[in-house]
């Protein structure tokens, strides 16, 4: 399913592929790869509050800022924070080491694009993931979702963190 007009990049409209996932929906499971090329499933974190911070590429300033901010917040939360992008796992690991990112888990969707397609965030024009944030409760239900309208802008950190705290994070 193609969705036009949901996101843009600096005002240029983009096409998202996949369903419109929002608060109230069950969080679709997916597999992505960690820095050691081992599979990571969302189901691995059932029973925990999870924040998914999706970024187009860690090699951009806004994605870097988003990852740094959620790393800072993760230090204060009882939640798993997953940052997911299409970047290769090796690049994600290098990025985290360079910037001392150690409170979140970076995972890569480059291989099968399961996350991007399951969450309706695959950008047809670029092959990247749309900037977004999801908060998932301990039972696997999405309680907060934000797809950032223009992927060159930052998400609403405060509301996402408040929602996670409300769930016991």
114: tokens are 């399961």
Closest by alpha carbon to 5, among 144, 130, 149, 153? 149
Maximum Cα interatomic distance, the chain, rounded to a whole number of Å: 39
The verdict on whether 63 is a catalytic residue reads yes
Of 63, 77, 96, 107, the catalytic one is 63
Report DSSP letters for the chain, one per residue.
Answer: -EEEEEEEETTEEEEEES----TTSBPPP-EEE-TTS-EEEGGGGTTS-EEEEE-S-TTSHHHHHHHHHHHHHHTT-SSEEEEEESS-HHHHHHHHHHHT--SSEEEE-TTT-HHHHHTT-EETTTS-BPPEEEEE-TTSBEEEEEE-SBTTS---HHHHHHHHHHTT-
State the catalytic residues.
63
């Amino acid at each position: 399913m193609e969705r036009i007009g949901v996101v843009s990049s600096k005002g240029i409209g983009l096409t998202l592929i996949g369903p419109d996932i929002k608060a109230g929906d069950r969080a679709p499971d997916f597999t992505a790869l960690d820095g050691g090329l081992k599979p990571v499933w969302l189901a691995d974190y059932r029973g925990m509050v999870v924040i998914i911070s999706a970024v187009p590429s860690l090699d951009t300033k806004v994605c870097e800022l988003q990852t740094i901010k959620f790393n800072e917040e993760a230090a204060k939360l009882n939640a798993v924070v997953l940052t997911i992008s299409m970047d290769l796992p090796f690049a994600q690991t290098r990025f985290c080491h360079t910037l001392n990112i150690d409170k979140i888990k970076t995972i890569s969707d480059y291989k099968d694009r399961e996350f991007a397609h399951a969450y309706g965030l695959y950008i047809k024009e670029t092959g990247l993931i749309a900037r977004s944030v999801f908060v998932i409760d301990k039972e696997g239900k999405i309680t907060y979702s934000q797809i950032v309208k223009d992927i060159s802008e930052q998400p609403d950190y405060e509301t996402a963190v408040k929602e996670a705290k409300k769930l016991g994070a």
